[in-house]
Structure 1
Amino acid sequence: MTATAEKKLHDCRDAWVETLVELGQADPRIVAVVNDSVGSSKLGPFQSEFPERLINVGIAEQDMVGVGAGLANGGKIPFVSAASCFLTARAMEQIKVDAAYSEHHMVLVGQSPGMAYGELGPTHHSIEDLAWLRAIPNLTVVVPSDPEETRQAVRWAAQHDGPVFIRVSRMGVPDVNPAGYEFAPGKAVTLREGSDVTLIATGTVVSRALDAAELLASRGVSARVLSMPTISPLDKDAILAAAAETKGIVTVEEALTSGLGGAVAELVVQHQPVPMRFVGVTGFAPTGEVGWLLDHFGISATGIAEAASEIVGA
């Protein structure tokens, strides 16, 4: 049994909606826009308290982002919520133009990302989103790793004067951030010190990177673990320090490796070249339970440790 399996797991959507209700109580400008996904977005409590402040556009993701932009232009603070696979794939032009290019204060909430809809197959996997979104200027891309980071990211996005994308997990995750943790965009969190190799992880798989570090420690390998809550902007200083101070970097994500992995590689190759390995999804993901899918792609303590061992020769 892994260390993660022994810990209590949380659905980050609960933290997201609790925080949105709190924000709505304090600020009448807060509104929610959904694509017939009140249930899967867990927006029932928000709808019950503020029925006039929830706009359901139906299965029309492009319209949903456009409506959100219009509300932002009218002085509201819209949280535009939908399954990440549909929000990003269907409404990419609107995210690019209506949200990012127009620099509207609006929050795009990608629900149940990665392979959380495992049994529904490739059409519902959202594994391309990080690679797509990090290429869009002006857009802050946040991937919380646990409920507390989700709460803080939602609060930060509500006051940030610009477009934000938040990837909210439905896959159960343990608490990983330390007591007193404060979210800041562009700032990594050092969850474990290490001098041999660095594991940089984001979102749901941060806990698996921590498990891998434990496994590596049992083999005499000291692994630094960095949690990277924002893909854009990146914490360049933390990444370059890791490249300079350890023998190499392993990136870990529940997405195509061109997301976090590509972003880190682009930085490292220009300023501090170092051996790297990429742990994530490669190609279309098949149908299956999310835990099985993660293991299938080596996004596990064993798979991450093996990638790190290739760098250090252990």
Structure 2
Amino acid sequence: MLFPTCDISNLCFAFLSSTVTMYGGSVSGSVEDMKRKANLLYARKMFAPAKDLYTRILRDIADSEKGNTDLSCTIRCNRAACYIELGEYPRAVLDLSPVVGPAHTGLLSLYAKAYYRLSRAFLEMGHAEEARRHFDNYVRMAGATASNDPAAKELQRKIHERAGRSNPLMRPIMYQVRVLTKEAGEEEFVKEEFVPAELCAADPPKDRTIELLKYLLRKYDKEVRDSRPWKCWNCGRPANSITHTPSSFLHHPVPLVIDFSQPVCMNSGPCDMAGRELVHNVLSSGRR
């Protein structure tokens, strides 16, 4: 499924909202209070507890403040900083991708910070060219702040030091499988792939993009199915297959594919059809 103009932040928010609404998981306490506590934990270098609290905030937002994508992006950017400190760089990239998408009112101040963190994450993953791409965006938005920041200068030095080690004809992408389950609400798998750079364009070739999506499904379907004994997302019976709805965001500043998936008790059965309809409705609402 291709959504060339879809807003990732709205899309992720819509899917999380549907998960919380269906299976519960709301969190008590003021969002602002939790945010202050999480920020304090981060300042004290308690990155894992801070990350967990930011995650709770995202679920609370989805349950009680639907449509507040500005706040969601702020929390994702903060959680990404935790992931970077914890060495979970692909997850940091996934959190930052909605932040640098289409502009949201009041979020312009976040853009420079998000691009800086993307640059750090990609450099740690060994992708100097991708790190340079995002660092250039950071410099353009931060202006004098970038040239006066010792940490930014050091990051730039490391990027230059490792330049030339990446294949300019290929770009790294993130492949995220988000599995909607009856027991846990949602589980995810994060994979890293490389694709021809020409596919990461504003209007990538549709046929080749579809072939890429099919390839990713074939490559990882068995791994996801065999990772645990799944139960049907709808009726709770043992699942014998997984329904996949991949969405391409290769045109995005952070190229990625998000695969919205559900374990089902019978391929092409009622739960399968209901699952496809649910995801279609969620993805459609995310485009608005």
Shorter-chain TM band? 0.3 to 0.5
More strand by share: 1
What TM-score, normalized to structure 1? 0.30
What TM-score, normalized to structure 2? 0.32
